[in-house]
Structure 1
Amino acid sequence: MKGLKNYILLILAFGLSKSHAQQTLQLSQYIFNGLAVNPAYAGYKEDWTLNLSSRLQWAGVDGAPKTSSLSIDGVTNSDNKTIGLGLLVNNDRLGPENNSSIYGNYSFRIRLNNDDSQRLCFGVAIGAIVFNIDGSLFNTGNVTDPSISSGVQNKLAPDFRVGIYYYSPVFYLGLSGLNMVPDAYPDPVSIFIKQVRTYYLTTGFIVPISDAVNWKPAFLIKEDFKGPTNVSAATYFLFGNLIWVGASYTTGVQLWKKASLQSDLNRTDGITGVVAVNITPQCRFGYSYDVGTSKLAGYQSASHEISFTYGFGRAKGRILSPRYF
């Protein structure tokens, strides 16, 4: 049982460090890839845009979480820009567990003003998650341990996401729900952690400081109504439309009493520094560095994340305002 206990402890530590118990993907640089948390974001930049993200949690720790995400989205009609489509592919590794997911995203984008600088978007995503656990990677110390299979265990589960997203040239607000398909036949002895419905509230705005500097505060609230509420506050500065420099603070808080949540849990916090460079108007590269500030920080290493964004040419017609979000 030693290997199984170590695996469970690693999962618990990962969950506490991110202040959530479910395994929905959350990247430090989510502001550059809104499709990862909200299907209604599909088509926001209008041009077909590719986003790649890779995150190494707790560098140097054996079996530490590794997360990768690829998305591409854009509008289908460059004249009315009403329909946005997107594809999102994720992979999450945690010790012997390897989970992969794929989603097709659809967004219906309602024009709100004559100059088309504001839209209200409604989105859905349909996909599937493949869960894998490789029992051979457990170091059990007992080859006859009956609780762990030496082979690979698999589970395929459908998934559904919904979202709403409003944006203007200087403000955005999004609300989304992930893991909306419940497990109809849960296995009480399954080694796989049950996915739970998770909701995201995201918002941010742009404040011009000068002709060459823009300030962008951003906020994310993540809630599953079981674990602590995950709150992230970020601040970014854009210099000359070329360089992004920012930081964020993430913590878990108990906004109200939850029956399944211990009242004496230690708060877990994290600080992230981010630098991103607009190499060209269509191409951006970003790097972030995370450190924990809670008691768990003494048992983990720093985390690293890189992101890459590329826009495939300008859609027909003018985009009247820069796409800061």
Structure 2
Amino acid sequence: MKRLLFYILILFFVHIAAAQQRPQYTQYVFNNFLLNPAVTGIENYTDVKAGYRSQWTGLNGAPVTSYLTINAPLGREFIEGSANSFSAGGGENPNSRLYTQDYMAAAPHHGIGAMVVTDKAGPITTTNFDATYAYHLGLTDRLNLSVGVAAGFMRTNLNTSEITLETALDPAIANGNNGQFHPDLGLGMWLYSSNYYFGISAQQILPQSLYLKSTSIDVIKTVPHYFFTAGVKLFVSDDITLMPSVLVKQIKPVPLTYDVNMKLAFRDNFWIGGSYRHGDSFGAMTGFYLNSFLNVGYSYDITTSALNTVSSGTHELVIGILLNNRYKVTCPRYGF
């Protein structure tokens, strides 16, 4: 009976996470690097971002995600050879029509990066450590293509101190394989120009079985996650730019899901936006490009699923730092 209760508890959390073995983000448009390794090194500076997401606030054991990412370009021609496109003080606002008209494809270059993502749901904590690499090349004088790979490992840990059973030393816990390491691999492609992008990627493409040593039953099986994303810039005026985007996710056996987002940017100073996640939530977002070193974004999701009776919403905060920013840009030029 005690073991049965334990398995029911575990399966409960597995059921919650079945559609979300990898964390989901409202501000993925602020850091597409999280979903697609081909974005590695897309900008002319070293891009560092730290994020924190508290999902379904008010629900005990709800997912909490934190991450730290860093990626940078390699290639002197790209880093130093863009003097015609960049000038001291940042040059032309990349959200403007004029920047789009003068845009030139990035010089061929490499990108390297790394990320640490920790996701905690109930007593289960999953941490991914990945190194990334991408190669960028110009297909035409205005169109770029990059391909990338992410490789590392995933650690899954069951915190038995958060589980209460009739017998504290139940062998299902005491003898279980409560901390496990597994390889992790992801791939991606990114097609981008000055005013649109398309991306496809796959995460967790090496399926793994997470289990307890005391039983032959597989408690969790990881599955590949597939993503398609696209966005475009629409110019309302010389100072205001509308940027709609979409993210489609395929995670079997869960039905196809999608997010729709809209950002309204005022020059390279700040932006506001909204999002809709099918069958899950509506979100409000805002971000500020404070200077050539620091930017910040915040979002709040209103839950529309059945969990809205026990959840007061989802908060997400992202802080960005621009290192080695030789041309003092304040917002992305090759990304959105």
What TM-score bracket applies, with the shorter chain setting the length? Answer: 0.7 to 0.9
Cα drift, residue 69 of structure 1: 1.2
Once the two structures are superposed, residues 18-38 of structure 1 have per-residue CA deviations (whole angstroms, 9 ceiling, x without a partner) of xx2x41122111111111100
User: What secondary structure, in the 3-state scheme, does the structure 1 residue paired with 2:168 have?
Assistant: coil
Contact 2:62 2:121 in 1 (8 A): yes
Cα drift, residue 62 of structure 1: 2.2
User: What secondary structure, in the 3-state scheme, does the structure 1 residue paired with 2:174 have?
Assistant: coil
1:234 maps to what in 2? 261
1:40 maps to what in 2? 38
Q: Tell whether 2:168 aligns with 1:143.
A: yes
Q: Tell whether 2:87 aligns with 1:72.
A: no
- Cα distance in 1, alignment partners of residues 22 and 319 from structure 2: 21
- Cα distance in 1, alignment partners of residues 232 and 198 from structure 2: 9
- Cα distance in 1, alignment partners of residues 16 and 298 from structure 2: 24
Cα drift, residue 149 of structure 1: 3.3
Once the two structures are superposed, residues 142-180 of structure 1 have per-residue CA deviations (whole angstroms, 9 ceiling, x without a partner) of 436444338871111001111100110100100001111
2:151 alignment partner AA: I
Q: Tell whether 2:134 aligns with 1:112.
A: no
2:280 maps to what in 1? 269
- Cα distance in 1, alignment partners of residues 75 and 194 from structure 2: 21
Q: Tell whether 2:334 aligns with 1:307.
A: no
Once the two structures are superposed, residues 217-257 of structure 1 have per-residue CA deviations (whole angstroms, 9 ceiling, x without a partner) of 01000102311212000111001321111111011xxxxxx
1:254 maps to what in 2? none
- Cα distance in 2, alignment partners of residues 317 and 108 from structure 1: 24
User: What secondary structure, in the 3-state scheme, does the structure 1 residue paired with 2:190 have?
Assistant: strand
Q: Which runs of 5+ in 2 are unaligned?
A: 79-107
1:73 alignment partner AA: N
Q: Tell whether 2:223 aligns with 1:196.
A: yes
1:103 alignment partner AA: D
Label 1:169 to 1:7 Cα distance change in 2 as closer, same or farther (>3 A): same
Displacement over 4 Å in runs of 4+: 1-4, 184-188, 315-319
* Pair member with larger Rg: 2
User: What secondary structure, in the 3-state scheme, does the structure 1 residue paired with 2:8 have?
Assistant: helix
- Cα distance in 2, alignment partners of residues 295 and 205 from structure 1: 33
Contact 1:78 1:315 in 2 (8 A): no
Range moving further from structure 2, 51-60 or 176-185? 176-185
2:300 alignment partner AA: Y
Q: Which runs of 5+ in 1 are unaligned?
A: 252-267
Label 1:160 to 1:91 Cα distance change in 2 as closer, same or farther (>3 A): same
- Cα distance in 1, alignment partners of residues 329 and 139 from structure 2: 17
Contact 1:46 1:78 in 2 (8 A): no
2:264 alignment partner AA: F
Contact 1:134 1:151 in 2 (8 A): no
Contact 1:42 1:73 in 2 (8 A): yes
Alignment counterpart, residue 289 of structure 1, candidates 282, 293, 300: 300
Identical-pair percentage: 27
Contact 1:282 1:313 in 2 (8 A): no
Q: Return the TM-score normalized by structure 2.
A: 0.82
Q: How many residues align?
A: 300
2:21 maps to what in 1? 23
- Cα distance in 1, alignment partners of residues 329 and 67 from structure 2: 29
Label 1:223 to 1:302 Cα distance change in 2 as closer, same or farther (>3 A): same
User: C-alpha root-mean-square deviation of aligned residues, in Å?
Assistant: 2.5
Cα drift, residue 310 of structure 1: 1.2
- Cα distance in 2, alignment partners of residues 107 and 316 from structure 1: 22
Contact 1:250 1:271 in 2 (8 A): yes
- Cα distance in 2, alignment partners of residues 184 and 59 from structure 1: 30
1:172 maps to what in 2? 197
Range moving further from structure 2, 287-296 or 120-129? 287-296
- Cα distance in 2, alignment partners of residues 318 and 62 from structure 1: 42
Contact 2:240 2:264 in 1 (8 A): yes
Alignment counterpart, residue 309 of structure 2, candidates 295, 298, 305: 298
2:65 alignment partner AA: T
Alignment counterpart, residue 235 of structure 2, candidates 208, 227, 231: 208
Cα drift, residue 10 of structure 1: 4.1
Once the two structures are superposed, residues 19-66 of structure 1 have per-residue CA deviations (whole angstroms, 9 ceiling, x without a partner) of x2x411221111111111001010111311101111011223322211
Cα drift, residue 195 of structure 1: 1.2
Contact 2:59 2:310 in 1 (8 A): no
